[in-house]
Structure 1
């Protein structure tokens, strides 16, 4: 549970929300399974709002210190990151691209965009953005695209 809370705080701390209206709320930051497993589905609307407000205040004050000093947070940050290689041929993406990774995972482009690539570098990093959605970064070029895992 500590690791799950650390991961949640990490996700929230990475957001950098400027105003309360920018904060999507804890229910949007977690998957439905995580939300239920944490027991948050049992909270009333007022209790959930209070938790959202606390998270927002926390990220504005203490989150950066926790990110740099907590071993649990550092471990959770590593778990939310995948370093891999795309199987050849890798030619970038074109709007609905499937990415077959050497580790056996398959990811699909979920956001529009095109990127043509002719080089040989196939290293990618998959990590979650501040809203909890996955993105793929082509290491050699720094280009990013939103993805979802297929298998």
Structure 2
């Protein structure tokens, strides 16, 4: 249960800037395997909506404070960071983009969103958000997208 609460807390922090209508909900934030492993598939639609509402409220309030005051959270954040370059050509992302990195890893866009890019900078940083979900940040522009590792 503690792990589930921590996972939910990590998810909400990455959404702190989102407004209610932009909030994708817990089902979309997690992979189907993670969703099932956490037992969230057993929730009714009303229970899932209540959880989504709590995540949104938590994100808007306590999540930022916890990120800045918890030594445990700060240490965990420092442990998970990958710096790499996306193999050329890099033109941003468009919904289900695969990112082939120079270190051999392959990541897939996890959240909806589009970003068109026509520059030459391909440096990216992958790190986990407050809920433990991976995000890819294009260093030159600061644009971010949720991703899942494919291999």
Q: Which range, TM-score by smaller chain? A: 0.5 to 0.7
- Where structure 1 has 5 or more consecutive residues not aligned to the other structure, the ranges are none
Give SS of 1:116's match: coil
Residues 73 and 5 from structure 1, CA distance in 2 versus in 1: closer, same or farther, beyond 3 angstroms?
Answer: farther
Quote the residue 1:93 is aligned against: 91
Q: Where does residue 44 of structure 1 map in the other structure?
A: 44
Deviation track 1:82-141 (CA, whole Å, cap 9, x = no partner) reads 212456xx5643779975434221347894623232xxx7642134689x674341x3x3
Give the C-alpha shift of residue 36 in structure 1: 0.5
Length, aligned pairs only: 143
Is 59-68 or 1-10 further displaced after alignment?
1-10
Larger-Rg structure: 1
Per-residue CA deviation, residues 7-29 of structure 1 (Å, 9 max, x unaligned), is 43223122125643332221121
Kindly indicate whether structure 1 or structure 2 has the higher relative contact order, using CA contacts under 8 Å at least 6 residues apart.
2
RMSD across aligned C-alpha pairs, in angstroms? 3.8
Verify the 8 A CA contact 1:85 1:123 in the aligned structure 2. Answer: yes
- Gap regions ≥5 residues in structure 2: none
Task: Kindly state the Cα deviation for residue 41 of structure 1 after the two structures are TM-superposed.
Answer: 0.6
SS of the residue aligned with 1:66?
helix
